[in-house]
Structure 1
Amino acid sequence: MMKNWLAAGTVALTVGMASAIAQAQTTTVPGEQVGLAVGAPLPEGIYAINTFTYRRTDGRNDPDTAVNIPVLVWSTPLVPFGGRVELLVAPPTVFVFTRNPAGQPNKDISINVGTFVGGIWAFDLGGNFGVSLLGGVYLNDLNGDRGSLFTGSTRVNPLSGTGQIPVGTPVLPQLSSNTYRFGIAGSYTGDGWNITTNLTANIYDSPGRFGGPVGAFIGPIRLSNALNFDFTATKKFGNFEIGPVAYGTYNFDISQFSAAVGNRGRFAIGGLIGYDFKVFTVQAYVARDVVTGATLTNAFGRTRSDYSTDGWIRFIVPLYSPTPAASPIPTPLVRKY
């Protein structure tokens, strides 16, 4: 049962988004897939999965951030070349909670990420090994909140030299472009183990642009393609599971014009616990950066790494599975002696 629900968590790898400006640009949240046997195919049916993460960095003036990722997946009866086809949709939301003691009241904000639509092609290789391929897109250009803010001031239009235009700033620069997502994962799920490795690529239409007068002021945004990677090694003991997890992200373009300027990425290590309630599964895990490209400057003018701590909780709920065909009633064998 737990193996099936861990496999159900496969769909969580198809959604998510960056949790803050300090996230260093990737749209898919690093770590959203750990704890799941993302390489294993789902049994046929419909599943609901919700993953929530809350993140705090060391910087005193950095915002706390959270991301909620609801997912609906249909594991179809289609198995071309032996691989299960799974279709999914997800509308993630990011929340920002300010901690900076400003001269005027701070405001918390939320931004809807472009709905993710995509699919997975997952293969059972036998011997408790599985592998899956993923493809999809976050539709930021179509229905994302786009993530640019008006600062409350204006300036002379640099193109005409006359008139005033609003000054803005991007909250999540990666939302200036659709995000194309591709992934490959492998899992071993024998004897209560979940040993999984996974790679996820985010590809952008760079430079990205926001619409409207604020977007015109911000101008083109150079986006870095990114690669996320994660590792899980949990073991089930009865209805409980426990084990270490690790994840990270790598930005390819960190030049001065990139949205990921100066930040090559991060790598975090943590631990996971979970419980199988039979009708649904709950997982929780916490991880802390051990390497990060983000930096902060303290009150003494010294620059150091701006490490972060992530807390996660996930619910996996199977909603529907096909009713097994009823076995035929055996016909009594009558013999005459």
Structure 2
Amino acid sequence: MKNILAVGAAALSLGMMATGVFAQSTTVPGEQVGLAVGAPLPEGVYAINTFVYRSPDAPVVASPVDVAVNVPVLVWATPFVPLGGRVELIVAAPTVMAFGRNGGPNGIRDLTINVGTLVGGIWAFDLGGNFGVSFLGAVHLNELDGGRGVLTTNGGAFVGAPVLAQLASNTYRAGIAASYTGDGYNLTANLTGNFYDSPATFGGNNTFGTRGPFVIADALLLDLTATKKFDLFNEGKAKFEFGAIGYGAVNVGSNANIVGRQGRFALGALVGYDFGPFTAQAYVARDVVSQANYIDAVGRQRELDNTEGWVRLVVPLYSPTPAPAPTAIVSKY
């Protein structure tokens, strides 16, 4: 596919803490890199699944879990093009997983958390000359079906809760993206904002202090892509894709003054292949800037960097059948 619009969204930034102030985003930083998010899709229905696994470069005592997120997305590129921009409707149901890095009764037990279902839409314009721009408006319905997560040890002892305090509020998401897709290139910049009703509380009982209120900072995320497709085996079509990617997030707004200016940025490389019925991509990135820190065994403050591995599949499920060419009307006399 020349133009693939990634719309889904998810939650990463898993904060293993039980304080009253949080600065995590719900959208996963990097979840849209490698995709021409600014370009409109051809009319049809598309399934996109993106999976990321994050491993921190820190001792277990400072960062006791690895984190994974799976983001299944369904996109309907409708036939409606008001003012020349295609309307595309989206729904996603992300899942966050945490895996304890240490065994034994004191290690952290694996857990899974449902992120609130994402619903929304995109208005995508073809500006000509292989340039496109799109606008996104969506919401994660965290208050309806989002989880909170409770950390326990393998021995069953309580460690902390909630794991994802930002899911105490719906996540209101807005985005703007621009793409150039000529000559096999995908040059894309995508800016996304996450906004919360803060302070926020979880519904239900107050077990282990998981109800709140929690002060949540808004977040801005930037995803950058610079890749090109090549016909390596003279197949008549450029199927291999290689290039560089970068992404990051920072918390903003008045609540960021409470939590401090937290942020990170990662750089990496991407490889992809168009198999015909579906497209596959894989990319790896590592933090080059991080404001997360931990104290090492000798009491020194160290930067907590992460390495992330990603896998994505894009499957076109439906496209309208082209209308048959008009048949000439022949009148007999």
Counterpart for residue 88 of structure 1:
90
- Which residue does the alignment assign to 1:18? 12
How far, CA to CA, are the matches of 1:190 and 1:217 in structure 2? 50
Unaligned runs of 5+ in 1: 154-165
Which runs of 5 or more structure 2 residues have no equivalent in the other structure? 17-21, 231-237
Q: How does 1:67-82 map to 2 (within 5 A)?
A: 67-82=69-84
- 2 CA distance for matches of 1:302 and 1:288? 22
Deviation of residue 187 (structure 1)?
0.2
**C-alpha distance in 1 between matches for 2:220 and 2:129:** 29
Q: Which residue in 1 is equivalent to 2:233?
A: none
The 3 A distance-change label for structure 1 pair 293 and 255 is farther
Q: Which residue of 1 aligns with 2:19?
A: none
Indicate yes or no: 2:176 matched with 1:181: no
In the alignment of these two chains, the number of paired residues is: 314
SS at match of 1:25: coil
- In the alignment, what sits opposite 2:241? 241
| Distance change in 2, residues 1:191/1:209 (3 Å) | same
| 2:311 corresponds to | 313
Whole-angstrom CA distance in 1 between matches of 2:211 and 2:159: 8
Q: Which residue of 1 aligns with 2:251?
A: 251
Q: Secondary structure at the match of 2:96?
A: strand
User: Which structure shows the higher helix fraction?
Assistant: 1
RMSD: 2.5
SS at match of 2:216: coil
Matched-pair contact (CA < 8 Å) for 1:226–1:252: yes
CA deviations on 1:53-92 (whole Å, 9 max, x unpaired) are 0001111212100000001111100100000000011110
Aligned CA distance change for structure 1 residues 54 and 19 (closer, same or farther; 3 Å): farther
The offset of 1:330, in angstroms, is 5.0
- Determine the C-alpha separation between the residues in 1 that align with 2:256 and 2:83: 46
Identical positions, percent = 60
Cα separation, 1, equivalents of 2:124 and 2:180: 13
Assess if the C-alpha contact under 8 Å between 1:38 and 1:187 holds in 2.
yes
Shift of 1:230: 1.3
Cα distance in 2 for partners of 1:199, 1:256 equals 18
The structure 2 residue matched to 1:198, chosen from 185, 190, 196, is 190
Is the 2:42–2:77 Cα contact (8 Å) retained in structure 1? yes
SS of 1:70's equivalent in the other structure is: strand
Give the deviation of 1:147 after TM superposition: 3.0
Alpha-carbon separation, structure 2, partners of 1:216 and 1:19: 21
Q: 1:150 to 1:253 in 2, by over 3 A?
A: farther
Q: Distance in 2 between matches of 1:114 and 1:215?
A: 21
Letter in 1 for 2:314: I
- Indicate the residue corresponding to 1:143 in structure 2: 145
TM-score between the two structures when normalised by the length of structure 2: 0.88
**Given residue 245 of structure 2, which amino acid in structure 1 is its aligned partner?**
V
Match of 1:163 in 2: none
Q: Which has the larger radius of gyration?
A: 1
1:298–1:138 Cα change, 3 Å: same
Query: What pairs up with 1:150-161 in 2 under 5 angstroms?
Result: none
Deviation by residue 1:180-235 (Cα, 9 ceiling, x = unmatched): 00000000000100000010000000011123122756531100000000111101
Structure 1 residue 213 and structure 2 residue 206: aligned? yes
Q: Secondary structure at the match of 1:145?
A: coil
- 1:231: which partner in 2? 224
- The 1-side partners of 2:301 and 2:199 are apart by 30
The 1-side partners of 2:165 and 2:303 are apart by 22
**Is 1:35 paired with 2:42?**
no
Structure 2: how far apart are the matches of 1:53 and 1:240?
Answer: 21
Deviation at 1:99, TM superposition (A): 1.1
Partner of 1:157: none
Displacement of 1:14: 3.3
2:150/2:162 contact within 8 Å kept: yes
TM-superposed CA distance for 1:269, in Å, is: 0.4
Amino acid at match of 1:227: L
Q: Aligned-pair distance for 1:126?
A: 0.4
Give the 3-state SS of the residue equivalent to 1:21 in structure 2. Answer: coil
TM-score by structure 1 length?
A: 0.87
